[in-house]
A and B are shown apart, each in its own frame.
Chain A
Amino acid sequence: MINYNKVEKSPVELSKKDFVSDQMVKWCPGCGAHAILAAVSNVFPKIGYKKENFAMVSGIGCSSRFPYYVDTFGFHGIHGRAAAIASGLKVANPGLSVWVATGDGDSMAIGGNHFIHVLRRNIDINILLFNNRIYGLTKGQFSPTTPMGSVTKTSPHGTIEHPFTVSGLVMGSQGTFFARVPDNNVKLMTEVLYEAAKHNGTAVVEILQNCIIFADKVHDMVTNRETKEDRQVILRHGEPVIFGKDRNKGIILKGTSLEVVEIGKNGITEDDILVHDMYSTNPGIQRMLGWMKAPDYPVAMGVIRAAPSESYDDLAERQIETAKKTSDIQSVNDLLRSGETWEI
């Protein structure tokens, strides 16, 4: 449920054009970021909050240009620090719907520390993680998610670093919400962003974004329209994890791992297929689903984890409310006169 107590609802119905800014969009033609903008402009009016209550915070990178392109309050921060800035903003004013736009470098290299800690605290913000697996703005150096062996401007002989799997990092940081979407499925992205907004806590939405200039087709194996039905599985809560062009493949839990099976073969029926529980607080199976990699597995899309949990900002407000009700010290004058004092 959307926590309407926190963020005030708009008295009038808003539409997509309410969120279009007057700034010129400067991403390269064909960049996957355009689709993310489209999805956000779709979903903000649907979420239904007052226009003034949306705040968009970003770091530095192509992705971090985002706040200029939506007509909300915006803060374009410094490299890596969006999560920290957004944390302060949300804790200061829990009545805002705070969105972070960040890149793979911004969030997981220079900003890695803030990323894991905002997740651990579960501050109620939404993070749009534009994962193009490259440093776009600085023109093509490898990032923490660049595939091993990739040739980039700073790895002419191929990278020798193991990339992060974003879901692994999020769940390792005890994140309560994780979703993944390809940039060429705006409909799914819109649905997922809506779920992220509903979640009370830090919601990370990893978008497999294509950087047409510096890492073109880096997600192609997964997102290519020709093959995507076999390379992606779209998870829906309460439904069996089925995929494939003919919807005849599925995921089962065998022993302690997941396995791809074909329905109708070796006696497998739809009843054997794993049913997705995104609300489970136990991250065990969600972790495994998030970890699935092509070509051996389909890559999981949609909301993988949405575990209900208390948010930091709610807890912080509650502590203050309680203290205000119970403490003898109600003003700084009280404080100055508390403890040992004497008259001269």
Chain B
Amino acid sequence: MVQKNAVRELEDVVVKFVGDSGDGMQLTGTLFSDVAALAGNDLATFPDFPAEIRAPHNTIAGVSGFQMHMGKRKIYTPGDMCDVLVAMNPASLKANMKWVKPGATLVIDTSTFDEKAIEKAGYTLSPLEDGSLDGYQVIKAPVTDLIKEALSDLDIDKRLAERTKNMFVLGILFYLFERDLELPLNFIGNKFKDKKKVVEANQTALKAGYNFGETTETIRVTFRVDPAPLEKGLYRNITGNVATAWGLLAAAERSGRTLFLGSYPITPATEILMELSKHKSLGAKVFQAEDEIAGICSAIGASFGGHMGVTTTSGPGLSLKSEALGLAVITELPLVVVNVQRAGPSTGMPTKSEQSDLMQALFGRNGESPLMVMAASSPANCFYYAYLASKYAMEHMCPVILLTDGYLGFGSELLRIPDVNDLPAINPPMADPNDPKYKPYSRDEKTLVRKWAAPGVEGLRHRVGGLEKTNIDGNVSTDPLNHQLMVNIREEKIARIADYLPLLEVNGEPEGDLLVVGWGGTEGALTSAVNRMQEEGKSISHVQFNYIKPLPKNTREVLSSFKKIVVCELNNGQFVNYLRMMFPEIPYNQFNKVQGLPFHVQELTDEFTKLLEE
């Protein structure tokens, strides 16, 4: 028997909060994460929303969750299986037991386990009694009753009391993880500033939960997660979508060009539109268009007008933008297109993540239509890649598609806050007013980039458009050799961006038995898996691509230095086939998953082990 209050020190731990949509799990998870961050842990989070806005009460469809992974070391993903599950009703327990590690701690609100709810969740017997939870540390808390008791001295109505359930449970968790209550108590005080009753009720519930933890016999083990050795600095927790929005704002500020966003709401990209809508004080112009086509076309119009034109969307929206992307290619105007990928085809699974728009981004247009494609690879680095996408778009006068995904967009991690003035400078190639030599398609010799000349600037009158134009003069032309020339120039202009890209950095030895290749949002899972195997002494390295077109200049060299390569993607093999096209002499293995789920570290290490043993 373990003594009550034995303390277990953990490297890292995954905690998941699950409940009915109305149970406030997102707020609970966020608050728990903030407290962990303040205690110095590194962390990553991921919300698990139901697809429906208000699914029926107590059903599996209505389960809402929030997962967080914290540790005393670098945390790369929100975690696969959880060490602690907080379940507010039978349906949420039922839906999540498959994501729980053996021997995990379960915190269960038993007051919701009435016959009807148990049946609605699809259980025949109550899981609290049928023995299925043996082998777990189960903390049963009849929260509704306990709250009634705790709040009995206060004059609080039943509905408000019901809504403090999540705080009670959070109190138990704070006890379980030896956290100080000061921060959450202050948070509650600030959040409900003007509602004294609400503050009182929530604070009381939180403390009552903590006390329950202290006194209950069922807690045998508590946990300690020491601070992570994070680089000194100012930090915040940020989701990928917010980071993307802010990176765009930073690029506009540094380039001196006003940000114009033309966008139409679509899951999981809408947060970027909503976030940018808030920041009019930074001059951002946000145009909620009538559809995705108007979104991109208005952004192109704004780019023509000398603004930093941006459009944000997800897969189906990118399909609608295809024709206009070609227009941005041929007019050689800067344009940033953020595609927060989701599971397709068609409407697919809007709230589930996938990496299946890569081919669409690379090739999904009529004609020879090259543009730059890049990908962010963690929630926080969405900030930098959005910034860089804008920089490349403006400095190289071309559309850039930045691929993120729902997993990055909704997920959060810690961002070490930079000084915007330390980011690389952005120098758009603006034409000088009244430049007698100005011609719409005259180009910089080295980069092949044309000048940006906005209406309103004297002496630069010109026309651009979707019809093929002569190089330099920009007159409409169907001359065969001119078309060939322009096609070649447009391709070469994008290829030359590689001269300005960082080289690939290999995680691990630069040569060896197995190279794990990934791109975009899988970086966290691949890094975790590879690091684990490197610690076991395996000859395995990892490289993650953030630049896809053009590819970094050392790509061939890196890929050629390993006995085996495995390209891992959340699609049916789009990047691996692109690599096969670009470097056909290299043999590739591929590992693909298209389930609307991220890679789990275990399935990756299993696959890599198999490849190393073959």
Contacting pair B456 A53 (CB below 8 A): yes
Contacting pair A81 B324 (CB below 8 A): yes
Contacting pair B290 A89 (CB below 8 A): no
The interface stretch among B70-78, B416-424, B518-526, B584-592 is B416-424
B169 on interface, CB distance cutoff 8 Å: no
Contacts of B323 in A (CB 8 A): 78
Contacts of A114 in B (CB 8 A): 290, 293-294, 297
Q: Among A55, A320, A329, A336, which residue has its beta carbon within 8 angstroms of that of B417?
A: A336
Contacts of A320 in B (CB 8 A): 280-281, 283, 285
A-facing residues in B237-251 (Cβ within 8 Å): 237, 246, 249-250
The residue of chain A having its C-beta at the shortest distance from the C-beta of B232 within the complex is: A344
1/0 per position for B271-305, CB-CB distance to A under 8 A? 00000000111110101011101100111111111
Shortest Cβ distance from B590 into chain A, in angstroms? 37
A113 on interface, CB distance cutoff 8 Å: yes
Shortest Cβ distance from B572 into chain A, in angstroms? 31
A84 on interface, CB distance cutoff 8 Å: yes
The interface residues of chain B, by DSSP majority, are classed as mixed
Q: Bound complex: CA of A52 vs CA of B454, how far in Å?
A: 9
A324 on interface, CB distance cutoff 8 Å: yes
The residue of chain B having its C-beta at the shortest distance from the C-beta of A54 within the complex is: B455
Shortest Cβ distance from A41 into chain B, in angstroms? 15
Contacts of B258 in A (CB 8 A): 92
Q: Bound complex: CA of A164 vs CA of B362, how far in Å?
A: 40
Contacting pair B235 A342 (CB below 8 A): yes
Shortest Cβ distance from B334 into chain A, in angstroms? 13
Contacts of B326 in A (CB 8 A): 78
The interface stretch among A66-74, A184-192, A260-268 is A66-74
Q: Bound complex: CA of A339 vs CA of B246, how far in Å?
A: 14
Contacting pair B305 A88 (CB below 8 A): yes
A75 on interface, CB distance cutoff 8 Å: yes
Total number of A residues with any Cβ neighbor in B under 8 Å: 57
Q: Among A52, A85, A337, which residue has its beta carbon within 8 angstroms of that of B461?
A: A52
B464 on interface, CB distance cutoff 8 Å: yes
The residue of chain A having its C-beta at the shortest distance from the C-beta of B326 within the complex is: A78
The residue of chain B having its C-beta at the shortest distance from the C-beta of A95 within the complex is: B456
Contacts of B260 in A (CB 8 A): 88, 91-92
Given contact pairs A60-B466, A96-B455, A87 touches B298 in the complex (Cβ within 8 A): yes
Contacts of B327 in A (CB 8 A): 77-78
A331 on interface, CB distance cutoff 8 Å: yes
Shortest Cβ distance from A62 into chain B, in angstroms? 14
Contacting pair A67 B465 (CB below 8 A): yes
Q: Bound complex: CA of A93 vs CA of B457, how far in Å?
A: 11
Contacting pair B454 A93 (CB below 8 A): yes
Contacting pair A335 B282 (CB below 8 A): yes
A237 on interface, CB distance cutoff 8 Å: no
Q: Among A51, A74, A91, which residue has its beta carbon within 8 angstroms of that of B302?
A: A91
1/0 per position for B301-321, CB-CB distance to A under 8 A? 111111101000000000000
1/0 per position for A145-187, CB-CB distance to B under 8 A? 0000000000000000000000000000000000000000000
Report the tally of A-B residue pairs with Cβ distances under 8 A: 196
B40 on interface, CB distance cutoff 8 Å: yes
Shortest Cβ distance from A154 into chain B, in angstroms? 22
The residue of chain A having its C-beta at the shortest distance from the C-beta of B416 within the complex is: A344
Shortest Cβ distance from B207 into chain A, in angstroms? 22
Contacting pair B463 A76 (CB below 8 A): yes
Q: Bound complex: CA of A108 vs CA of B166, how far in Å?
A: 54
Given contact pairs A73-B455, A85-B301, A91 touches B285 in the complex (Cβ within 8 A): yes
Contacting pair A77 B466 (CB below 8 A): yes
B409 on interface, CB distance cutoff 8 Å: no
Given contact pairs A89-B305, A335-B246, A340-B237, A78 touches B253 in the complex (Cβ within 8 A): no
B467 on interface, CB distance cutoff 8 Å: yes
1/0 per position for B449-470, CB-CB distance to A under 8 A? 0000011111111111111000
Contacting pair A333 B419 (CB below 8 A): yes
Given contact pairs A89-B304, A323-B281, A52 touches B294 in the complex (Cβ within 8 A): no
1/0 per position for A302-344, CB-CB distance to B under 8 A? 0000000000000010011011101101111101110111111
Given contact pairs A73-B461, A88-B305, A324-B281, A340 touches B287 in the complex (Cβ within 8 A): no
Contacting pair A85 B304 (CB below 8 A): yes
Binding site for A on B (CB under 8 A): 34, 37-38, 40, 230-237, 246, 249-250, 253, 258, 260, 262, 279-283, 285, 287, 289-291, 293-294, 297-307, 309, 323-324, 326-327, 331, 417-421, 454-467, 475-476
- Of all A-B residue pairs in the complex, the 6 with the closest CB atoms, nearest first, are A76-B465, A88-B301, A88-B298, A327-B281, A74-B463, A84-B297
Can you report 8 A-B residue pairs in the complex whose CB atoms are below 8 A from each other? A67-B463, A71-B461, A73-B460, A76-B465, A77-B297, A85-B300, A93-B305, A331-B282
